């Protein structure tokens, strides 16, 4: 059974990674799951400068989901290199840096500064960030911006470049095609869905930023639909995520067209979800007589 | 820190709306310290989705058991309260930092309100056993909320009620203020409870120039420091704006917190 | 306490209506809830010609939600007038006809044929339908189409015209503004969220149409966010729906900016949800000292 | 049709993976007929979200109780099986149409498989009581799936197992085919169970020119005919393409259904 997935000229050992923002830089989860067994760690977003993140409270639960408003809280590129790279260097699993910014130039600057690091397998570009040059609309909502950002980042690195799509758009296929046209080596979907909770006792939004990002089982059908549509629209690998809690959910995404997966919110519920999902995928493949991940594709 | 399957040993009501649950603590697992907490995955279905955090309220090394005291509040705690002895429990613990020990000549003033009782009680018992003379001050609205607690050996427990229906008539901070500066001269304050009470403890400590540690609470997702969800805002003089309750806390020097 | 809401020159007696497609034309629920106490019945979509609807299975459950693929199954305008109007005529609550079509002309034709009926209080225009003239993209995803459709339907009737918005767009505020510009008397949001479930045993989509419409508690945060944003964008009343299961959910929507509400999926779970929600709203208002629905607005 | 709060009177396992639950039927509520069903709201939390439909398997006019037989399948039925006598139950019933009575000279052949047992059993008992001589044929994989049922007075129960471990060796349709045309000459077929079995019953009835009624199942949302979610496709000669199982059914003349 071959579980590996090729992205550009590099190999992910298995399809089950852990999603950006839900796993820090791996350290915290080291006692709780076998990091070396992960298909990939997608780090918390890194920006050029350190960012404190959004005001609190930052979390609120919803039916079968949660909303987060962490913002891009991170230590910035310099301290990332100093404080996080040594640990990441010690890991045997692929580490994919989630890159964020408010301007095209900021994304580029992060990649320029870290690209020589062998610890980094590739990049995942978070285009759900508001583009300050375009009235705060997220980069990922406009195909023109997405193609431009992708192609300008492609020039800076030989590592695989994954564009992470937001579901908060009219036509996610168009965005995916723009990423592919810009030279993306893969796309990941979905980032969080825009949502909001009102505290009816305080009569104000549950989080100060008013709207936040919905994740967890509630959004799984949205993620599966996105992966299905995107995988029909492009010829690069699609990485599926959104509400995967167990192997059955993971298999849904694979059958819908995903070549790899990320476990996000589920890490909070069971820190070893990724291990269990990988085991479950293997069992499913054995029963189905599948020998490689691509055997999941093309059934409908 | 381990994620283990435990078993509930007992579950009982200790005050109106408050439960104490005792469960098996695995041999291999690190002993929890007062102030540390755990998270419980309450059920298989995704409502409620997230694990629920509770401070340890006791630990019995011989029996290999630990306990929590919790208030029945919403969906999660209602489900928890419906579990019985013998039921399995999915526990992730010990998490977070812990209260620091007072110096031998310091008198620990331990202030608890509402759901803050657990960690303070655990700490008081440990100090008591170690020969300190802790004063545990527990404030609540009225008599029915006063839990039934075994007395301390060296220290003592002071109940306070807002309506005067039991113990001292007034809040726990009113009680502290009623102590003379002589009595609190070498005190060290520890607090856990509602934010208003924590701030009052901090102000009290500041006014008498005492050190004060406070155990904080924020909505949590991961509980292990990875998601940056559970932050509190730090005072302006700190080197960063926010700290994570689950990893940098839950216990903070009250002076490092931005009280608003 | 005044619970009424004015839309155009007409009054809804209270804010709690029942959503299109979840309540038929009212008959089936008559034994289970007090129809005369409803703020409004929004009928199942009606098209010019009868439509059989989509192939089966048409339903699948998801975490805290469900996906439907009913299609526009309905008896068509002629039989609607013959078979449904007599019962609707006997009701004392406002009846709002949900109108659908694949061409602008079809929407217009429905309104032309039914507009003389006194039983109909007004119209809710379902613009989540694929526009066959525009490559099957839903009418409701393009502001230009929405404004045009709205203004052409406005000319045909004096009854209140409510445009029902789809959440499957990049910027729902822009769509709402287009509806307002076209002369809409109110907007309702949200219609269902695009979602998909894969049957991992059969290895095919759970519903033949592949993607369907997600509704229920899972989408409540999406609906609340939409209502908040839309109510900041337009000056006409906003009708909120999506996952309302109880009075607390309803109050969230009202505080977020809704002037009226619709109960959808919850009718399936508890046929008397609307009655309980109305009672709960009254209790909340009493405790809060609110005397009219507009007291819910402007708190943030 | 009413939505009432009932109380569970008993709950027991009757075969491997199958439960029988009896609950109180309110005085004011219409008496259910064989073939009709109910829906149950299994819990307060929205997972599982929808009510779950089950056919009535019995009704006791004196005791004012009704029962269902159900298979423990997924989340909802697992939760249902965990309920005990005395627990409340949220029931919406009676829903749908019912089996039509055979003529006095017709022999009712009642064929059930799997979760189709409930409605067929209820109908068989009613016919039995009314003096008919129903033959209830129940087919399953093997012996452990055969429920423990009290015998009929006028009619009889024929078990069939695929592996021959009990009763007739073969499917229920094999059994029917083993009957001579004389024996089935004036039969009327009624069936409920897996689609394959329903189609086989339909084919059998067609081949012997018998009338056949079949109780269908589809995923349901409203259960009352309002959402158009639970449709089955009708044969080409019908005046419409789809019919609702919950309102136009669940019982259909097998000839009106499009079997695929
Ligand atoms: C470090 C820490 C220690 C705690 N120790 C105790 C304790 O010893 N005893 C006790 O009774 N309670 C304690 N709590 C609070 C306890 O976690 C909440 O009361 C519980 O999660 C409520 O769950 P629920 O589903 O019943 O309520 P819900 O209906 O979900 O919410 C009720 C309230 O609890 C808060 N809450 C819900 N989920 C969380 C979460 N994951 N993290 C933090 N707050 C949450 C909500 O903001 C809300 O105000 C502690 C919280 C933290 C962060
Ligand atoms: C009219 C009718 C009568 C029925 N009578 C019986 C009966 O007497 N005994 C019995 O054991 N079962 C009966 N069923 C089937 C029963 O409703 C399902 O087994 C039950 O809903 C499964 O719920 P779950 O949560 O355990 O399973 P899930 O994990 O939700 O699903 C397991 C299977 O049950 C099906 N199912 C789930 N929800 C529904 C629903 N709302 N409507 C229809 N099918 C559903 C799913 O498609 C799936 O194949 C009947 C169904 C219908 C429509
Ligand atoms: C607390 C939290 C923080 C997140 N931070 C980031 C981030 O920094 N960058 C990013 O691209 N996605 C971030 N995400 C989105 C997740 O990576 C993922 O796309 C989303 O949560 C859906 O997957 P899930 O339902 O499995 O969690 C975050 C999600 C959560 C819950
Ligand atoms: C079974 C079903 C059928 C529906 N049919 C229609 C329809 O015909 N026209 C329409 O505008 N909306 C239709 N809807 C959408 C609902 O009116 C509502 O917008 C959506 O379900 C969100 O609300 P809820 O979560 O409260 O159900 C349908 C929804 C369901 C569940
Ligand atoms: S809860 Fe995730 S960092 Fe504290
Ligand atoms: S389940 Fe709604 S029409 Fe049958």
C21 backbone dihedrals φ, ψ, rounded to 5°:
90, -10
Q: Which residue has the least CA distance to atom 13 on ligand 1?
A: B54
Asked whether residue C132 carries a pLDDT value surpassing 90, the answer given is: no
Q: How far is CA D235 from CA C37, D185, D238, D243, D246, in A?
A: 41, 26, 6, 10, 18
The vertex-A65 CA angle with A61 and A71, nearest 5°, equals: 70
Q: Domain-by-domain residue ranges, chain D?
A: 2-95, 107-217
| CA–CA separation, C109 and C156 (whole Å) | 9
| CA–CA separation, C14 and C6 (whole Å) | 10
pLDDT of res. D129:
94
The residue with tokens 């992960």 is A38
| CA–CA separation, D219 and D239 (whole Å) | 23
Q: Which two tokens stand for residue B6?
A: 């435990």
Catalytic residues of C: 129
Mean pLDDT (whole number) for C3-28: 97
Q: How many of the other CB atoms lie within 10 Å of CB of A247?
A: 20
Q: Which two tokens stand for residue A72?
A: 């891009």
User: Quick check: C225 and A196 CB within 8 A?
Assistant: yes
Chain D residue at shortest CA distance from C52: D241
pTM of the model: 0.97
Q: How far is CA C200 from CA A250, A254, C33, C195, in A?
A: 10, 10, 38, 16
Mean pLDDT (whole number) for A254-281: 98
Question: Does some domain include residue C157?
Answer: yes
Mean pLDDT (whole number) for D109-134: 96
DSSP code string of A73-125: -B-HHHHIIIIIHHHHHT-SS-EEEEE--SSHHHHHHHHHHHTT-TT--EEEE
Q: Are C34 and C13 in contact (CB under 8 A)?
A: no
Neighbouring residues of D46: CB distance < 8 A, sequence distance ≥ 6? A63, A64, B47, C64, C65, C216, C217, C218, C245, C269
For ligand 3, say whether the CB of A217 is within 6 Å of any of its atoms: no
DSSP state at residue C175: H
pLDDT of res. A127:
96
| CA–CA separation, A35 and C276 (whole Å) | 50
Domain residues for C170? 5-56+71-197+217-296
pLDDT of res. C131:
83
Give the CATH architecture of domain B2-95.
Answer: Beta Barrel (2.40)
DSSP state at residue C81: I
| CA–CA separation, D208 and D241 (whole Å) | 27
pLDDT of res. A134:
80
Examine the predicted complex and report whether its ipTM is higher than 0.90: yes
Query: How far out from the chain centre does Cα D168 lie?
Result: 21
pLDDT of res. B232:
98
Which one of the listed residues A5, A72, A129, A189 is annotated catalytic? A129
Q: Contacts of residue D44 in chain A, CB cutoff 8 Å? A: none
pLDDT of res. D60:
96
Straight-line distance from the first to the last Cα atom of chain C, in angstroms, rounded to the nearest whole number: 23
What's the pLDDT tens digit per position in A10-52?
999 999 999 999 999 999 999 999 999 999 999 999 999 999 9
Q: Are C77 and C110 in contact (CB under 8 A)?
A: yes
Asked whether residue C272 carries a pLDDT value surpassing 80, the answer given is: yes
User: Quick check: C229 and A211 CB within 8 A?
Assistant: yes
Q: Which two tokens stand for residue A7?
A: 């992205």
Number of domains composing chain A? 1
- What percentage of chain B exceeds 90 in pLDDT? 96
pLDDT of res. A209:
95
Which atom of ligand 1 is the closest one to the Cα of B71? 11
Asked whether residue A132 carries a pLDDT value surpassing 90, the answer given is: no
The residue ranges of DSSP E strands in C198-240, in sequence order, are 198-199, 204-205, 211-215, 238-240
Q: Are A297 and A257 in contact (CB under 8 A)?
A: yes
Reported as a pLDDT band with limits 50, 70 and 90, residue C122 is very high
pLDDT of res. A133:
82
Q: Contacts of residue A34 in chain B, CB cutoff 8 Å? A: none
Q: Contacts of residue D46 in chain B, CB cutoff 8 Å? A: 47
Ligand at shortest distance from the CA of C249: 4
Q: Which two tokens stand for residue A39?
A: 């298909």
* A168: nearest CB among C64, C170, C251: C170
What's the pLDDT tens digit per position in A141-174?
999 999 999 999 999 999 999 999 999 999 999 9
Question: Closest Cα to residue D99, out of D244, D251, D246, D258?
Answer: D251
The alpha carbon of D168 and the centre of ligand 5 are apart by a number of angstroms equal to 62
Choose the residue to mutate in D227, D228, D231 for probing ligand 4, maximizing ligand atoms within 8 Å of C-beta: D227
Q: Are B219 and B231 in contact (CB under 8 A)?
A: no
Q: Which two tokens stand for residue B42?
A: 């309450």
Angle between helices C220-233 and C247-256 (to 10 degrees): 30
| CA–CA separation, C30 and C275 (whole Å) | 13
What's the pLDDT tens digit per position in A102-112?
999 999 999 99
Q: How many inter-chain contacts (A to D, CB under 8 Å) are there?
A: 3
Which atom of ligand 4 is the closest one to the Cα of C66? 31
The residue ranges of DSSP E strands in D73-162, in sequence order, are 88-95, 107-113, 135-140, 156-161
In D84-118, which positions are buried (b, 16+ CB within 10 angstroms) versus exposed (e)? eeeeebbbbbbbbbbbeebeeeebbbbbbbbbbbb
For ligand 4, say whether the CB of C98 is within 6 Å of any of its atoms: yes
Q: Which residue has the least CA distance to atom 23 on ligand 2?
A: D76
Mean pLDDT (whole number) for C278-282: 98
Asked whether residue C129 carries a pLDDT value surpassing 90, the answer given is: no
Helices within B58-215 (DSSP H only):
75-81, 117-129, 172-178, 181-184, 195-207
Mean pLDDT (whole number) for B224-232: 98
Q: Which two tokens stand for residue A145?
A: 């911006």
Q: Which two tokens stand for residue D51?
A: 């009510």
Asked whether residue A5 carries a pLDDT value surpassing 90, the answer given is: yes
pLDDT of res. A24:
96
* C70: nearest CB among D218, D225, D227: D227
Rounded-to-5 percentages of helix, strand, coil across chain D? 20, 35, 45
Question: Closest Cα to residue C40, out of C122, C135, C131?
Answer: C122
Q: How many of the other CB atoms lie within 10 Å of CB of D30?
A: 12
Asked whether residue A135 carries a pLDDT value surpassing 80, the answer given is: no
pLDDT of res. C169:
97
Q: Among C126-140, C186-200, D46-60, where is mean pLDDT lowest? A: C126-140
Average pLDDT score, chain D: 96
Is the peptide bond preceding residue A190 cis, with omega within 30 degrees of 0?
Answer: yes
C-alpha torsion sign, points A178, A179, A181, A186:
negative
Q: Which two tokens stand for residue A16?
A: 């089950």
Q: How many inter-chain contacts (C to D, CB under 8 Å) are there?
A: 100
Which 3 state secondary structure label does DSSP give B68?
strand
For ligand 5, say whether the CB of B235 is within 6 Å of any of its atoms: no
Question: Does some domain include residue A202?
Answer: no
| CA–CA separation, A74 and D16 (whole Å) | 55
Asked whether residue B123 carries a pLDDT value surpassing 90, the answer given is: yes
Ligand at shortest distance from the CA of D195: 2
Q: Contacts of residue D47 in chain B, CB cutoff 8 Å? A: 45-47
For ligand 3, say whether the CB of A164 is within 6 Å of any of its atoms: yes
What's the pLDDT tens digit per position in A204-222?
999 999 999 999 999 999 9
Is C217 an interface residue toward A (CB < 8 Å)? Answer: yes
Neighbouring residues of A17: CB distance < 8 A, sequence distance ≥ 6? A38, A39, A40, A41, A42, A94, A96, A239, A260, A261, A262, A263, A274
Reported as a pLDDT band with limits 50, 70 and 90, residue C135 is confident
Chain D contact probe: residue of A63, A221, A243 with most D CBs at under 10 A: A63
Is C59 an interface residue toward A (CB < 8 Å)? Answer: no
Which chains contact C through at least 3 pairs of Cβ atoms less than 8 Å apart? A, B, D
pLDDT of res. D162:
95
pLDDT of res. A137:
84
Asked whether residue B260 carries a pLDDT value surpassing 90, the answer given is: no
Neighbouring residues of B92: CB distance < 8 A, sequence distance ≥ 6? A32, A271, B1, B2, B3, B4, B38, B39, B40, B41, B51, B223, B224
What's the pLDDT tens digit per position in C170-211?
999 999 999 999 999 999 999 999 999 999 999 999 999 999
Q: Is the domain B107-217 a CATH 3.40.640.10 member? A: no
Q: Contacts of residue B45 in chain D, CB cutoff 8 Å? A: 45, 47, 75
- State yes or no: is A189 an active-site residue: no
Reported as a pLDDT band with limits 50, 70 and 90, residue D71 is very high
Q: What is the CATH number of the domain that holds C142?
A: 3.20.20.70
Asked whether residue D260 carries a pLDDT value surpassing 90, the answer given is: no
């Amino acid at each position: 059974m071959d579980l590996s997935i090729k992205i550009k000229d590099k190999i992910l050992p298995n399809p089950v990674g852990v999603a950006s923002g839900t796993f820090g830089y791996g350290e915290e989860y080291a006692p709780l799951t076998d990091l070396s067994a992960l298909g990939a760690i997608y780090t918390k977003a890194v920006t050029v400068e350190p960012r404190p993140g959004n005001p609190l409270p930052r979390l609120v639960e919803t039916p079968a989901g949660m909303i987060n408003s962490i913002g891009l809280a991170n230590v910035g590129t310099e301290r990332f290199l100093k404080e996080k790279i040594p640990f990441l260097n010690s890991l045997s699993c692929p580490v994919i840096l989630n890159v964020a910014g408010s301007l095209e130039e900021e994304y580029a600057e992060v990649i320029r500064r870290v690209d020589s690091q062998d610890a980094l397998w590739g990049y995942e570009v978070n285009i759900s960030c508001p583009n300050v040059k375009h009235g705060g609309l997220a980069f990922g909502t406009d195909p023109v911006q997405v193609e431009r950002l992708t192609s300008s980042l492609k020039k800076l690195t030989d590592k695989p470049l994954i564009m992470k799509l937001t579901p908060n758009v009219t036509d996610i296929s168009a965005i995916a095609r723009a990423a592919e046209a810009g030279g993306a080596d893969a796309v990941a979907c979905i980032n969080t869905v825009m949502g909001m909770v009102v505290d009816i006792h305080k009569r104000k939004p549950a989080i100060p930023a008013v709207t936040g990002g919905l994740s967890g089982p509630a959004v799984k059908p949205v993620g599966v639909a996105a992966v299905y549509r995107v995988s029909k629209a492009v010829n690069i690998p699609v990485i599926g995520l959104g509400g995967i809690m167990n192997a059955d959910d993971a298999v849904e995404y694979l059958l819908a067209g995903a070549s790899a997966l990320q476990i996000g919110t589920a890490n909070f519920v069971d820190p070893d979800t990724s291990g269990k999902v990988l085991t479950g995928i293997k069992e499913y493949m054995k029963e189905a007589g599948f020998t490689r991940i691509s055997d999941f594709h093309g059934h409908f | 820190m381990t994620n283990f399957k435990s078993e509930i040993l007992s579950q009982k009501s200790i005050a109106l709306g408050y439960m104490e649950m005792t469960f098996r603590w695995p041999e291999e697992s690190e002993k929890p310290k007062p102030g540390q907490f755990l998270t419980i995955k309450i059920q298989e279905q995704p409502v409620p989705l997230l694990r629920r955090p509770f401070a340890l309220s006791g630990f019995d090394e011989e029996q290999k058991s630990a306990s929590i005291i919790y208030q029945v509040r919403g969906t999660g705690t209602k489900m928890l309260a419906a579990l019985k002895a013998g039921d399995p429990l999915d526990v992730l613990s010990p998490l977070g930092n812990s209260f620091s020990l007072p110096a031998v000549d310091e008198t620990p003033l331990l202030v608890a309100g509402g759901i803050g009782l657990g960690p303070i009680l655990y700490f008081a018992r440990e100090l008591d056993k170690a020969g300190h003379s802790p004063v545990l001050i527990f404030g609540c609205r009225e008599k029915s909320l006063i839990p039934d607690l075994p007395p301390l050996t060296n220290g003592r427990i002071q109940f306070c009620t807002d309506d005067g229906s039991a113990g001292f008539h007034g809040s726990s901070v009113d009680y502290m203020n009623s102590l003379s500066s002589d009595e609190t001269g070498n005190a060290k304050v520890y607090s856990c409870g509602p934010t208003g009470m924590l701030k009052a403890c901090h102000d009290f400590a500041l006014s008498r120039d005492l050190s004060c540690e406070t155990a904080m609470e924020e909505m949590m997702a991961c509980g292990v420091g990875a998601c940056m969800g559970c932050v509190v805002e730090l005072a302006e003089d700190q080197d960063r704006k926010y700290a994570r309750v689950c990893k940098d806390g839950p216990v903070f020097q009250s002076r490092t917190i931005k009280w608003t």
